[in-house]
Structure 1
Amino acid sequence: MDPTTGEFQIQIGQAKIPLLPLLKTLGVQEKQIREAWGNEIAAVNMQKGDAGTLDKLYSRLVYKPEPGADQLTKIKAIAAEFAKTELDPEVTKRTLGKDYKNLTPEAILDITKKLIAVNRKEAESDDRDSMAFQQVFGPEDLISERFVKDKSGLRQLLWKATAKKSLDHIPSGVFNKSIQAALIGSGLGSSLEEINPAEIFDHQTRVTRLGEGGIGSIDAVPAESRSVQPSHFGFIDYLRTPESGKVGVDMRFAAGARKLGNNLHTFVVPVKNANTGETEYKTPQELADMPLMFPGEDKSDLPMVAALVNGKIKYVPRKDAQYTVPNMDNTFSALTNMVPMKSMVKGQRVIMGSRMFTQALPLENAEAPFVQSAKFDGDGSVSHEDEMGEKLGAVKAQFAGQVVSVSPDEMVLRDKDGNKHVVDLYNDMPFNRKTFWTQTPTVKPGDTVQPGQLLATSNFTDKGGTAALGLNLRVGYTPFRGRNYEDAVVISESAAKKLTSQHMYQHEAEWDDNTHVGKRAFVSLFPSEYDKKVLGNFDDNGAIKKGTVVNYGDPLVLVTKKRDQVYGKVHRGRAGAFANETITWEHHSPGVVTDVEHTKKGVSVVVKSAAQMEVGDKITGRFGDKGVVSEIVPDQQMPQDAQGRPLEILVSPLGLINRVNPAQIIEAALGKIAEKTGQPFKIKDFDNDKDLVDMAAKELAKHGLTDTEDLIDPETGRKIRGVLTGNRFFMKLHHTAESKGQGRSVGGYTAEGTPAKGGSEGAKRVGMLELGALLSHGAGKVVRDSKMVRGQANPEYWTQFMAGYDPPLPKVPHVYEKFVGQLRGAGVNVVRTGTKTHIMALTDKNIDELAGEREIQNAETVDWKGNLKPVKGGLFDETLTGGHGGNRWAKITLHEPMPNPIMEEPIRRTLGLTEKQFRSILAGQEKLGDKTGPTAIHDALKAINLPRAIEQAREDIKSGRKTLRDAAVRRLAFLKGAEATGVHPKDWMTTKVGVLPPAFRPVSTMGAKKMQLIDDANYLYKELLESNNVLKEASGLLSDVGNERLSLYDSMKGVTGLGDPQHPKNVERNVRGFLSKIFGDSPKFGTMQRKLLSSTVDLVGRAVITPNPDLDMDEVALPEDKAWEIYKPFVVRGLVRRGMPRMNALRAVDERNKEAFAELNAQMNAKPIVINRAPVLHRYGVMAFYPRLTK
């Protein structure tokens, strides 16, 4: 309904059709319409009647319209289609007051009445996001749906199984494709980092409104759907959501939510009947119609109580509220419940705290928190940490019995009836990233166990089976030498050792035909790479032996590979034909090899290590108070309490205020008491009967403690008065300084010649935000350097630079040449005039200038079994294109002239054709004038007199008719463009297609399996050549080649990127044409923003930054290892200019001798570094600093 005019319309696809004619078609009388709408709105809609509405509805609604159908037939068909449209009776009863099962005329009238009432503010609009209107679908629904869709295939399998009366003939993995499509292809599945089991459990309760069957994309999510939804109360944790574009639509189920029996789509929550005291389970639909009291309100003596009524918080009479939520624990997810004292914490911090549990690393001596969150529905003796312990690996006995045997992988129990039960255990099971799961038995053979008794703990629990994801540390809230400003924290050496985390890394080597397996083969080719002592730790297959201790840089698997004999490439010497691809240990902490697994395809080595807390590592409490370790101070230098004990962690007191985190104070105080008594505090949350501040003060007084203390600075002997101290629980996060520390000089590059990302030496991006900041600074030369010098592969430039010369500025970037080439390949001619670039239609003349007589003869690329040798006459023919890396254009001559796909709209607008007419004429199904086919279009364009056509377009604009004027405006724009560029409309037709040089559409292989890497353009050129050949052959055999013409034209559109590929497999591969790649899925990921304006760069690094008061305001500390990498070209150049031979200079830098070190300092004093802090939201997000070395 248009609220300004009162006109009703129905939208079918992109078409909007007046509703009134439809209602009359369905048999609704005018009297009924006036009664429903009122005379005024009815009169407005009467004037908007459309005589062609019936035909529009019939053509759009009926699947197979009957040619020449009379009016009565059309009306019956339309009515039948609407009758098929199903509605949810429960939803319509709630929204319209009547349970409609189908879209009947009465239902449509009730819908319009509701719209009028909402527009007049006589009724409220429906809350579309309410749980009452939602259904929940799980993996089982998606998988079963896939099986239903593939019922024919399933029927064949069942027939085969019943016919043979055996499953032996059914191949394994027959359902893999369906299951993978349901879980991964739907976009609903997600890969886990698997830092700890809490993350796995957290994702088991994940619920989202995105993906298949939900909202199509993040951009389509309405703003109101992101807000806190009152109806989620009790069903979905209304706090737990990411801080990304998925906010509000990626959530977690509340702890109390349950499925209703076998009904997989209906969830219920437990509510307490205030009248009977019994617990009942209610659906969202049931709770939407009754007041739902908040926890504790049922105990209130007041006549009015707070309740949730129709999605709003209201005060209602006590007698009208029958049900209440038993406790707030039921309204949060399991991990949110592990945040203690949530009622004292800002909501955002609760969200962050619950997420931090999934990122906590396992510690060698982990502890359960001194202050825990007690379960509300008990006596307070059981906490959520106790409950979570079983999810994190604690194993408890399910029955009374006796332990028969215990091993690292399992334990066997015998019950009272003599039956044996095997309990499987995780024994150093690696997770996806860098941690592992292991369980330790707490019983021994012969022990008698009782139900609920602890049988095993894990590296994520304490010895009692309680969740233990961190440590309790003595904390002080005081500034310390400027080192703990804002998010920075200072810890003691003993705390760093206590926070030693457990890690496990998997290293795999795959064998292929080019691999020379074995230690002997490696030593014969690289005899001086490692000494005998190191090689003694390896088996004959080149894998390190189990139990070996490895340090940074030590080899794990000796790998020698024969370099690919790419056609046309020559290797000098025997060693030059082989590459040392040894896998090494790249972590600062030593490791122990725990497993070595040999297979026919390769070898896998698993290494376990323990890493102490380091400067730059991240640490957090449970209230979102995340920080970075800025300094590790010797214990004897840390502030000490009255007992002479050094504090273990110092944080800024400002965090209590700006983070709205008063719960920290209570935890610190109660933790201090728990440390003294050895008993943890288990506190019920949202307990209205207990004042936490008062309780903490009384407990401190009871145990003779205070919240603040006078500390002693051992270095000066000065007393620091009134410092808030205590004991708090902290976790070490997986974002360690080692993983963040990266540096790169010059290195690997992509096929486009841009610095490659990924790995410890991957390039970093100067993005659009950084570009904006640099331009705001006026740093144009920095921008130019990042594009021309550091933003592309420049081996000749760096060779000359390090040799001491002043090389000229590099040429135009390869990625820009590719961009221009792709535009030309799409049929767009790019002409540069001075500082301006003009784009126009690419003509046959332009293609001849690019390709000359070089014509592609077949669709082949290279011989994949013969060292990628180009196939003669194919897309990589050395004579035609230059072969691999060639820069020659070639062409494909079309059997018939075709419209340039990029100019399809100008052609249609100029000739006054619709898209359907255009394709019909092209296929020979309709005539243009007295001709048909491509010739008809070409002749019509050829007949255009540009000056006269431009004048006619102007006359049509002056005529004043809306439809004519709109078409004339567009036609005039295209005609004037043709006049300005000197390209007559007849040149919008083409007889040939330019073939992009191989340098911009490479082919290669990757990995041991020689997986083919083929640029999309090669697939599309192959389709084009095949379609052209089909048309050529059909023209001599068939009288009607319309479909073949359209196939050729669509193949051309596929190449340009204005259409999809013709072959279904290419659609599955997501093969895209030139313009589709240039535009990207969004401007941010298009070529212009992603590759031309922004780019990855060399001479770049990444690290964690922390406060350091010893530095000047324009200085920054740079890790020495990264400084050697980033400044390497400048140090070599400086040494060479001082007279040192280039090879000696390179050796000096590698050895880091005194001369090189002095030159490094000189270069750092002369050349500042540019630092950005992502996201760069203003110009000061990018600043220049002079670096000073740090370890």
Structure 2
Amino acid sequence: MSKKSFAKLNDPVLPLPNLVKIHTDSYQWFITEGLTELFQEFSPIHDYSQKKFTLEFTGFSLDEPKHNEFSARAKNLTLDAQLKVKLKLTNKEIGQVKEQEIFLADFPVMTGRGTFIINGVERVVVPQLARSFGVQFNANLIKGKKYFSSKIIPSRGIWIEIETEPDGVIYARIDNKRKIPISSLFRIFGLKSNADIEKTFSKADTGLVSFIKKTLEKDSAKTMEESYVELYRRLRPGEPMDMLGFENSKTYIDGIFDKERYDLSRIGRYKLNNRLGKPTDNIKKEPKIITLEDVVGIVSKIIELNNNPLAQPDDIDHLGNRRIRCVGELLQQRLRANMAKMKRNIQDRMSTADPATLAPAQIVNNRTFMSAVRDFFLTNQLSQFMTQKNTLDEMEHLRRVTALGQGGLTRERAGFEVRDVHSSHYGRICPIQTPEGPNIGLVVHLAVYARLNEFGILETPYRKVAKGKVTNEVVYLNALDESNYNIAHSEAKYDQKTGEILEEEVEARVMSQPGLVAKSHIHFMDMTPNQAYSVATSMIPFLDHDDATRALMGSNMQKQGVPCILPEAPLVGTGMEERAARDVGRMALCENDGTVEYVDASKIIIKEGGLSRGASRKKREYNLATFLRSNALTAMHHRPIVNVGDKVKKGDVLADNYSSDGGRMALGQNILVAFLSWKGSNFEDAIILSERMVKEDKFTSVHLEEFSINIRDTKLGPEITTYDIPNVGEEKLKDLDEDGVVRIGAEVRADDILVGKISPKGEVELTPEERLLRSIFGERARDVKDTSLRLDHGKQGRVIGIKVFSRDMGDKLEPGVIKQVHVEIAKLRKISVGDKLAGRHGNKGVISKILPLEDMPYLKDGTPVDIILNPLGVASRMNIGQILETHLGWAAEKLGYHAITPGFHGATEDEIGEELKKAGLPEDGKVKLCDGRTGEFFDQKVTVGQIYMMKLDHMVEDKIHMRSIGPYSLITQQPLGGKSQGGGQRLGEMEVWALEGYGAAHTLQEMLTIKSDDITGRASAYNSIIRSERFKSPHLPASFHVLVSELRGLALDIDIKKSEARNPKHETN
């Protein structure tokens, strides 16, 4: 099908960057530079005396991965490679040097998609949006006047706060301890006398209040020695007097600011220099600790801000003051803490080892390093189980950024300001897409053009404008730099040949605020209108016609779309679908030009090379995934779209993935919609669906689940898998093989045996008869217990895969486990009443009725509609985009093209009317519909057209639940709640009132006693039923005993007195 674009702007000068580059680049930096930095930081390591040994890390190497991606997933292994380090141990006493390469850890390797495979499961490390290192200036409002303060935030080490008091004294507060006048800190950093301090600030401290003089007057310490002792006393309160000497104080305080314990980091140094107006060109050579020059600069800035009544503090929510920490940096930070432990262990071993025989491998224990790597990937809050409902879900998980996690915020502490949309987010963080729950605003998504600079600060590209002319030069700006320029929006009209802006005054962002600016004062221009939005939001057509809340829901619900057996690309798209499907890395793409030689469901073979005779023609095989289980239990599957003999070029799509169609993202189906109220069945967002959708499997999806069982070696003997299971009928065993494992292709239902297993029972005293049987038949007569793996309650499907792991075959298993069997079951789910459907505009609903084809309303030509939506669900929700999509979709279907209409510069209403006219449809998109039940026309015209709908991962089959027999609560003896616990519903207050209202006293008594928690009564009722006897009177329910116990807990002595006479009338049938 051809494409037709309604975009008003030309293709952007800069093509979209790779959408998962942020992860792959960070991991690559860690492997090439981050690990080197880490080893250099801890090298050399000397023994405590610094006279015996020196250990140096001279290099490292990362081997090739031990498995490929497919085998790691199949065998539940980690995709990792061996990390080895080269060590050089120098024995200073005898001048001997020993070099050795040792194994340090199995290090997880990143896939090309930016994910990790840990224990066979795909995981992703989500980047963290954290406060930037460096200096920040804040203000405290005291009696109507602002008094400025600053915080110096290092990467590692203590925080220093410098604050101004209303009396004009400037104090320093180190590590949140008691404050000390800043003059004492100056003396510690090298300004020895008061005269030196006054001279240093002679140019800065020129206001009405002399802050430096006031501080010197307040300072009780007058010399450097006194300053050290004074600061030590505040940092270590309660220290004995004999420890308060100058030497002790100096050693402790100098140690705090030493480079081993204090690290401002390259980012912190850059931000500090930038904020103080110092050069940032030579950051790498500058010290990464706090210097006298830094403290003087910060105090001078505080004095300058205090003297300026218009001065404003730094905005901590501004993206210029926040940065993103990706997988490489997070991993380096985690390993650094464990390297410090490893260093202490090495020094301990150096002091106790025999110098003559000591080798590097003897003193380096890699267990600390290995546990750090393992813990990071398995327990860190930022290392997450990848969501894989569809490929867009995968893509957006990789582009997710969170403010939560270690060193970040918590949901409880985060206020409104940090969650809110900020003007600095433009082009960097999507203002629309964020979760709706407690994480709102804390978990956000990157905008499509956003990139990270070397300091982890988000940047976005702009086109340069010179003297009112738009150029093709692209400049990336961070949020702080951007606030110094005037930036025009991308839809400002300009001459396509000369670049001259046609309007004299242009709408622009001036200092990040909206304004009207002369074209000569414009510095930059936006790249494209969807620059500000995430991938999912950019995939909503007519986004500019939807309310922001509904656009948020639309963005989030696209990620929940369950892959259909045959997904369809949308008739009305935005142009983002193709790029999103390609960058997620799930499609099979051609690596070189060639000809298709062989195609089947599992592989495609391409004969590469030119078409001329004699050209070397190498064959390349592309392996395809067939029904791989995703993390969301959907089927990841490839569908070849090429045929034998086809000529293919580099980059062409050879096979679609589980949610793409012809190389475009496809999350649902194009269906014929009518906006119509139908007999009350689509009241309140309910949806009426045609039976055709069920018959033609339009929304049918495949769901895979794996069930596993361990076969253990117990104290009483080993467990065995077998076909021969005691007390089980032939019907249950018919699909098991001789090992007791169900065969592939078997249809299984709830409680069917998947793996037959018997376990030895504990020995008991044998009767003479049992001893005789044992002597005749030997061990076979021994008692065994049936511990087979059975299919869970409420589940069914077809067995599509069996995996057996065994120690005999060399597989790694848990201690005590001799064999492990995994059974994979597939289930086809047709759409049914209770399933949730949604469009891309936040228009969601639950199916209330599936109507026969003949009952659906139909067009004049007899075509029945596929879905009926309630028109009342449009006006109040303000998502008119769905109506425009419906009109344009109908025209596109009739004219046979895919419409491309990007948000903010797509098809106009007039253009849609024109397209409908060309297709021979009414210009307003409304037609007379016939009622399928009566054959008569409806009174009013109805909006009809093609809409794109998705089946969401909220299916009735996962939620419906029934119980006949199940567990009870020990305390109340009432059924547990919820599907997961096999629970049921209890008779609550309102149900009791309903029965009381009908005067059903005996029914109510039964329900509250023998049908509920009257233990004795229900047991005797059961006996009465099986013996066909009359019921006895009910007893007291267990909940009454709970009430009595609670009253006794309140020191009220309650006695239950039973009536002597039993009334025979109480006995019931």
- TM-score, normalisation: structure 1: 0.59
The SS at the match of 1:151 is helix
Whole-Å separation in 1 of the counterparts to 2:618 and 2:750? 50
Superposition deviation, residue 715 in structure 1 = 1.5
Whole-Å separation in 2 of the counterparts to 1:535 and 1:640? 51
Whole-Å separation in 1 of the counterparts to 2:1010 and 2:535? 48
Superposition deviation, residue 419 in structure 1 = 3.7
Q: Is the Cα contact below 8 Å between 1:461 and 1:468 reproduced in 2?
A: yes
The SS at the match of 1:521 is coil
Pick the aligned partner of 1:457 from 656, 659, 664.
Answer: 656
Superposition deviation, residue 224 in structure 1 = 1.1
Superposition deviation, residue 37 in structure 1 = 6.8
Pick the aligned partner of 2:701 from 475, 484, 501.
Answer: 501
Q: Is the Cα contact below 8 Å between 1:86 and 1:102 reproduced in 2?
A: no
Whole-Å separation in 1 of the counterparts to 2:230 and 2:491? 60
Question: Could you give the per-residue CA deviations for residues 383-411 of structure 1, whole angstroms, max 9, x where no partner exists?
Answer: 43464256374323132123454454333
Q: Is the Cα contact below 8 Å between 2:760 and 2:783 reproduced in 1?
A: no
Superposition deviation, residue 204 in structure 1 = 1.0
Q: Residue 557 of structure 1 aligns to which amino acid in structure 2? A: V
Aligned to 1:728: 947
Aligned to 2:671: 473
Q: Residue 3 of structure 1 aligns to which amino acid in structure 2? A: I
Whole-Å separation in 1 of the counterparts to 2:178 and 2:358? 57
Alignment of 1:894-913 (within 5 A): none
The 1:622/1:438 distance shift into structure 2, 3 A limit, reads same
Aligned to 1:903: none
Whole-Å separation in 2 of the counterparts to 1:439 and 1:671? 28
Aligned to 2:755: 557
Alignment of 1:903-942 (within 5 A): none
The 1:406/1:699 distance shift into structure 2, 3 A limit, reads closer
> Do structure 1's residue 510 and structure 2's residue 710 form an aligned pair?
yes
Q: Is the Cα contact below 8 Å between 2:178 and 2:235 reproduced in 1?
A: no
Range with greater deviation from structure 2 (65-74 or 284-293): 65-74
Whole-Å separation in 1 of the counterparts to 2:782 and 2:832? 41
Give the superposed CA RMSD.
Answer: 5.0
Pick the aligned partner of 1:545 from 743, 750, 753.
Answer: 743
Aligned to 1:106: 296
Aligned to 1:520: 723
Whole-Å separation in 2 of the counterparts to 1:349 and 1:810? 49
Q: Residue 521 of structure 1 aligns to which amino acid in structure 2? A: D
Superposition deviation, residue 305 in structure 1 = 2.8
Alignment of 1:618-629 (within 5 A): 618-629=836-847
Aligned to 2:967: 748
Superposition deviation, residue 730 in structure 1 = 0.4
The 1:467/1:510 distance shift into structure 2, 3 A limit, reads same
Pick the aligned partner of 2:393 from 199, 203, 216.
Answer: 199
Q: Is the Cα contact below 8 Å between 1:240 and 1:251 reproduced in 2?
A: yes
Aligned to 1:135: 323
Superposition deviation, residue 642 in structure 1 = 1.2
The 1:44/1:564 distance shift into structure 2, 3 A limit, reads farther
Whole-Å separation in 2 of the counterparts to 1:235 and 1:273? 18
Q: Is the Cα contact below 8 Å between 1:6 and 1:44 reproduced in 2?
A: no
Whole-Å separation in 2 of the counterparts to 1:542 and 1:78? 69
Percent sequence identity is 23
Whole-Å separation in 1 of the counterparts to 2:757 and 2:897? 55
The SS at the match of 2:943 is strand
Superposition deviation, residue 617 in structure 1 = 0.5
> Do structure 1's residue 209 and structure 2's residue 426 form an aligned pair?
no
Q: Residue 270 of structure 1 aligns to which amino acid in structure 2? A: P
> Do structure 1's residue 268 and structure 2's residue 467 form an aligned pair?
no
Whole-Å separation in 2 of the counterparts to 1:679 and 1:614? 31
The SS at the match of 1:539 is coil
The SS at the match of 2:670 is strand
Pick the aligned partner of 2:179 from 4, 8, 17.
Answer: 17
Aligned to 1:357: 558
Whole-Å separation in 1 of the counterparts to 2:419 and 2:652? 45
Whole-Å separation in 2 of the counterparts to 1:771 and 1:405? 68
Aligned to 1:286: 481
The 1:648/1:56 distance shift into structure 2, 3 A limit, reads farther
Aligned to 1:150: 338
Whole-Å separation in 2 of the counterparts to 1:23 and 1:813? 70
Aligned to 2:142: 3
Question: Could you give the per-residue CA deviations for residues 272-314 of structure 1, whole angstroms, max 9, x where no partner exists?
Answer: 1123322233344433432333222373533333333444333
Range with greater deviation from structure 2 (84-93 or 37-46): 37-46
Superposition deviation, residue 92 in structure 1 = 4.0
The SS at the match of 1:520 is coil
Q: Is the Cα contact below 8 Å between 2:758 and 2:784 reproduced in 1?
A: no
The 1:192/1:526 distance shift into structure 2, 3 A limit, reads farther
Aligned to 1:1041: none
Range with greater deviation from structure 2 (482-491 or 496-505): 496-505
Whole-Å separation in 1 of the counterparts to 2:302 and 2:992? 55
Q: Is the Cα contact below 8 Å between 1:137 and 1:264 reproduced in 2?
A: no
Q: Is the Cα contact below 8 Å between 1:425 and 1:439 reproduced in 2?
A: yes
The 1:147/1:412 distance shift into structure 2, 3 A limit, reads farther
Q: Is the Cα contact below 8 Å between 2:488 and 2:525 reproduced in 1?
A: yes
Q: Is the Cα contact below 8 Å between 1:96 and 1:114 reproduced in 2?
A: no
Question: Could you give the per-residue CA deviations for residues 890-914 of structure 1, whole angstroms, max 9, x where no partner exists?
Answer: xxxxxxxxxxxxxxxxxxxxxxxxx
Range with greater deviation from structure 2 (178-187 or 729-738): 178-187
Aligned to 2:371: 177
Question: Could you give the per-residue CA deviations for residues 1069-1101 of structure 1, whole angstroms, max 9, x where no partner exists?
Answer: xxxxxxxxxxxxxxxxxxxxxxxxxxxxxxxxx
Whole-Å separation in 1 of the counterparts to 2:859 and 2:950? 23
The SS at the match of 1:628 is strand
Q: Residue 489 of structure 2 aligns to which amino acid in structure 1? A: F
Q: Residue 248 of structure 1 aligns to which amino acid in structure 2? A: G
Number of aligned residue pairs: give it.
Answer: 793
Q: Residue 590 of structure 2 aligns to which amino acid in structure 1? A: A
Alignment of 1:161-176 (within 5 A): none
Whole-Å separation in 1 of the counterparts to 2:557 and 2:1009? 41
Q: Is the Cα contact below 8 Å between 1:338 and 1:385 reproduced in 2?
A: no
The 1:14/1:174 distance shift into structure 2, 3 A limit, reads closer
Q: Is the Cα contact below 8 Å between 1:360 and 1:470 reproduced in 2?
A: yes
> Do structure 1's residue 808 and structure 2's residue 978 form an aligned pair?
no
Q: Is the Cα contact below 8 Å between 1:397 and 1:455 reproduced in 2?
A: yes
Superposition deviation, residue 350 in structure 1 = 1.8
The 1:580/1:795 distance shift into structure 2, 3 A limit, reads farther
Question: Could you give the per-residue CA deviations for residues 4-54 of structure 1, whole angstroms, max 9, x where no partner exists?
Answer: 382566555564536467568666657969946743989998998789998
Alignment of 1:1030-1069 (within 5 A): none
Whole-Å separation in 1 of the counterparts to 2:172 and 2:598? 73
Pick the aligned partner of 1:116 from 279, 282, 306.
Answer: 306
The 1:680/1:553 distance shift into structure 2, 3 A limit, reads farther
The SS at the match of 1:739 is helix
Aligned to 1:799: 1019
Superposition deviation, residue 813 in structure 1 = 8.4
Question: Could you give the per-residue CA deviations for residues 867-890 of structure 1, whole angstroms, max 9, x where no partner exists?
Answer: xxxxxxxxxxxxxxxxxxxxxxxx
Q: Residue 352 of structure 1 aligns to which amino acid in structure 2? A: M
Structure (1/2) with the larger helix percentage: 1
The 1:551/1:96 distance shift into structure 2, 3 A limit, reads same
Whole-Å separation in 2 of the counterparts to 1:48 and 1:807? 82
Pick the aligned partner of 2:797 from 577, 583, 591.
Answer: 591
The SS at the match of 1:360 is coil
Whole-Å separation in 1 of the counterparts to 2:617 and 2:400? 41
Q: Residue 478 of structure 1 aligns to which amino acid in structure 2? A: L
The SS at the match of 1:680 is strand
Superposition deviation, residue 594 in structure 1 = 1.4
Superposition deviation, residue 251 in structure 1 = 1.1
Q: Is the Cα contact below 8 Å between 1:673 and 1:703 reproduced in 2?
A: yes
The 1:9/1:807 distance shift into structure 2, 3 A limit, reads farther
Q: Is the Cα contact below 8 Å between 1:340 and 1:373 reproduced in 2?
A: yes
Aligned to 2:88: none
The 1:49/1:586 distance shift into structure 2, 3 A limit, reads same
Question: Could you give the per-residue CA deviations for residues 120-174 of structure 1, whole angstroms, max 9, x where no partner exists?
Answer: 5x122211122222222211222223333333788899x99xx99999x999999
Whole-Å separation in 2 of the counterparts to 1:774 and 1:1138? 21
Aligned to 1:306: 507
